[in-house]
Amino acid sequence: MSNNKLNKTSRRDFLKIAGATGAVSAFAISGCAMGPSGTGPRVVVVGGGFGGSTAARYVKKFAPDYRVTLIEPKTSYVTCPFSNPYLGGLVDLKTITHGYGGLSKAGVHVVHDMVTGLDAANGTISLSSGKTVEYDRLIVSPGIDFKWGMGYDEAASLISPHAWQGGSQTVLLKKQLEAMDDGGTVIIAPPGNPFRCPPGPYERASMIAHYLKAHKPRSKVLILDRKDKFSKQGAFMEGWKKNYTNIEWVKATDAGTITSVDAGARTISTEMDTHKAAVLNFIPNQKAGKIAHTMGLTGGGDWCPVDQITFESSVIPGVHVIGDAAVVSGMPKSGNAANSEAKVCAWAVVQLLSGASEVEPAVTSNTCYSLVTPDYGISVTAVWKATPEKYVSQGGGVSPADQSDGFRKQEAEYAHGWYANITHDIWG
Amino acid sequence: MRKIIKGAVVGAALLIAAPAYASGDGSAANQGNLNSALLVSNCVVCHGQGGDSQGHTPSIDGLNRAQMLNALTEFKSGARKGTIMTRIAPGYTDAQLEAIASELTGN
């Protein structure tokens, strides 16, 4: 850190010299008229998903005088949460699409650009537009990228979508479901651990089964898993038994290891069999988003190791990593967890920039709803206390078994309520 | 009502200066985790900013501090039925629930 401070001093000296000689420096972007409002420390956030957008908003909320910049290439964001109800026909695309106007109104300087590099020694990032942005603390929320293989790559995903990032992939999968003939099989191949949204593939199976039951009653969903158990398994299975005859889950031990995927032929082969799909939804194994690797935040691994209290990178000081890309022991990779991590991180960043010598461990939580049918919701929740090693559970749990129809309906309604409120918290 | 916002939007200097609440059960493990603005930032994802829900989850902006604390305490003990709050409330110490009730109601 002391090197970093020295370098920052040198940079200020450079700016003084540059100013005195009339040179125009790209370094000056954060101080220009179009920059962020405020006079306090500069916090730059990279990535406008659940983690990054929350972090930007809450730094500004916790410390209104801070100059907060959010850098995100896209001008609107389609969420992964509630993309399954979209596939099931419960909500439209507009409902799960969010702009950045709310963040701008909250005082966050939103820049639609792509980050191309990090110069941590000098506290700057470079953008594809050629600009350079200075930071006092950087928060990166990279999201996920895929470990392509077995014949399935990015080109293949344009034929048989993974739909594990919101947007065109989600829309393509829905179009294929609508176009398929009745009597076909939709194959979902969930990824191996760890991956974004552990209950997601099983909610997806539920929502597609709901759509098929109403529109293509001779069709079915086959889940070929790479695991022998999954999140909220008991609650999902109880819901499936009660509501569906068109879902079959095959655990990894019975399915056999997947050996190849042919997106064009819509087949998936295991060491035991080859399965033909009408619609193939192969979801690849995952790693931290590209920007994490570009910035060197993974330390050569798949994910980004971080301090569990502050989310500061274990690899690069002064840079914090949150959301699915970060290794946060005890917490799932979920949109709500990213929102919670962002708030804890925003809190830590404000404390550190205000001169705190250490940050007090936070208590935080996660709430995750899944829809089995439009009127049947289930949830898992947790409250954690941060420790240097991991997030230790203080309470929580999965929806109990054997509840009334009214209980399930209320959880389904609360799922919609959660979505409306968390997205309003972030982008509203 | 925008009580949560009012409570949460405080200057950094104030935040840093704010002392940690004394822990209700006095154990060292529960000291220093009661920063109420951070605690209630988790409530708003279901109940809305200021407790003003945008959807089917209940709005909680009409409750006073005693009602709020009573609801949280009853969810924790199991005296009050619910779907998810009966699982969430037991995750907090009594002192944390007090801090949450104060922050949510501005009292």
Q: Between chains, do A411 and B84 touch, taking CB under 8 Å as contact?
A: yes
Q: What is the mean pLDDT of chain B?
A: 77
End-to-end, the C-alpha distance of chain A in Å comes to: 36
| ipTM for the assembly | 0.89
End-to-end, the C-alpha distance of chain B in Å comes to: 14
Q: Is B91 on the interface with A (CB under 8 A)?
A: yes
Is the CB of residue A333 less than 8 Å from the CB of residue A195? Answer: yes
Amino acid identity, position A116: T
- Rounded to whole angstroms, how far apart are CA atoms B18 and B13? 9
Q: Between chains, do B96 and A424 touch, taking CB under 8 Å as contact?
A: no
- Rounded to whole angstroms, how far apart are CA atoms A367 and A362? 17
Is the CB of residue B50 less than 8 Å from the CB of residue A388? Answer: no
pLDDT recorded at residue A134: 98
Give the residue from chain B lying closest to A361, CA to CA.
B33
Which of A64, A365, A421 has the CB atom closest to B9's CB atom?
Answer: A64
User: Measuring CA to CA, which residue among B93, B37, B101 is closest to residue A351?
Assistant: B37
Query: Which residues in chain B have their CB less than 8 angstroms from residue A424's CB?
Result: 48-49, 54
Residues 103-162, chain A, touching B (beta carbon < 8 A): none
Instruction: Report the gap between the CA of B28 and the closest CA in chain A (Å).
Output: 12
CA A234 to chain centre: 25
A67-120 residue pLDDT tens:
999 999 999 999 999 999 999 999 999 999 999 999 999 999 999 999 999 999
Q: Is B46 on the interface with A (CB under 8 A)?
A: yes
Domain count, chain B: 1
- The token pair at A325 is 């890309």
Q: Is B37 on the interface with A (CB under 8 A)?
A: yes
User: Measuring CA to CA, which residue among A362, A335, A322, A359 is closest to residue A418?
Assistant: A335
CA distances from A138 to A125, A143, A324, A326 (A): 9, 16, 17, 14
Q: Is A101 on the interface with B (CB under 8 A)?
A: no
User: Measuring CA to CA, which residue among A243, A197, A246 is closest to residue A222?
Assistant: A246
Mean pLDDT of all residues in A286-312: 98
For residue A23, pLDDT over 80 is answered with no
Residues 70-89, chain B, touching A (beta carbon < 8 A): 83-84, 87-89
CA distances from B38 to A58, A63, A143, A250, A345 (A): 10, 13, 23, 42, 10
Q: Is B63 on the interface with A (CB under 8 A)?
A: no
Q: Is A347 on the interface with B (CB under 8 A)?
A: yes
Mean pLDDT of all residues in A317-343: 98
Region of B32 on the Ramachandran plot (φ > 0 left; ψ -120 to 50 alpha; else beta):
left
Q: Between chains, do B12 and A62 touch, taking CB under 8 Å as contact?
A: yes
Is the CB of residue A138 less than 8 Å from the CB of residue A297? Answer: no
- The token pair at A33 is 């008229």
CB under 8 Å to A153, separation ≥6 — which residues?
none
A89-101 residue pLDDT tens:
999 999 999 999 9
Is the CB of residue A359 less than 8 Å from the CB of residue A341? Answer: no
Q: Is B96 on the interface with A (CB under 8 A)?
A: yes
pLDDT recorded at residue A26: 36
- Rounded to whole angstroms, how far apart are CA atoms B64 and A163? 45
Region of B48 on the Ramachandran plot (φ > 0 left; ψ -120 to 50 alpha; else beta):
left
Question: Which domains can be identified in chain A, with CATH numbers?
Answer: 2-145+287-358 (3.50.50.60), 150-284 (3.50.50.60)
Q: Which of A383, A387, A392 to mutate to test the interface with B (most CBs of B within 10 A)?
A: A383
Going through A102-213 in order, the beta strands assigned E by DSSP cover: 109-111, 115-119, 124-127, 132-134, 137-140, 144-146, 185-189
Collapsing DSSP to helix, strand or coil, A156 comes out as helix
Q: Is A341 on the interface with B (CB under 8 A)?
A: no
- Rounded to whole angstroms, how far apart are CA atoms B60 and A134? 41
SS3 content of chain A, % helix, strand, coil (to 5): 35, 25, 40
CA distances from A391 to A55, A361, A382, A387, A396 (A): 19, 10, 10, 6, 13
Is the CB of residue A250 less than 8 Å from the CB of residue A224? Answer: yes
Is the CB of residue A306 less than 8 Å from the CB of residue A383? Answer: no
Name the phi and psi angles at A420, rounded to 5.
-60, -40
Q: What is the CATH number of the domain that holds B37?
A: 1.10.760.10
Q: Which residues of A95-105 are buried (b: 16+ CB within 10 A; e: fewer)?
A: bbbbebebbee
- Which of A247-261, A405-419, B11-25, B76-90 has the lowest average pLDDT? B11-25
A135-145 residue pLDDT tens:
999 999 999 99
Confidence of residue B107 (pLDDT cuts 50, 70, 90): confident
Is the CB of residue A278 less than 8 Å from the CB of residue A222? Answer: no
For residue A14, pLDDT over 50 is answered with no
Q: What is the mean pLDDT of chain A?
A: 93
| Residue B37 domain boundaries | 3-105
pLDDT recorded at residue B34: 60
- The token pair at A186 is 């939709």
Query: Which residues in chain A have their CB less than 8 angstroms from residue B39's CB?
Result: 363
Q: Between chains, do B42 and A340 touch, taking CB under 8 Å as contact?
A: yes
A237-275 residue pLDDT tens:
999 999 999 999 999 999 999 999 999 999 999 999 999
Instruction: Report the gap between the CA of B66 and the closest CA in chain A (Å).
Output: 23
Give the residue from chain B lying closest to A347, CA to CA.
B38
Is residue A134 packed enough to be buried (19+ CB in 10 Å), middle (13-18) or exposed (0-12)?
buried
Query: Which residues in chain A have their CB less than 8 angstroms from residue B8's CB?
Result: 61-62
The DSSP letter of residue A247 is E
Which of B16, B29, B41 has the CB atom closest to A343's CB atom?
Answer: B41
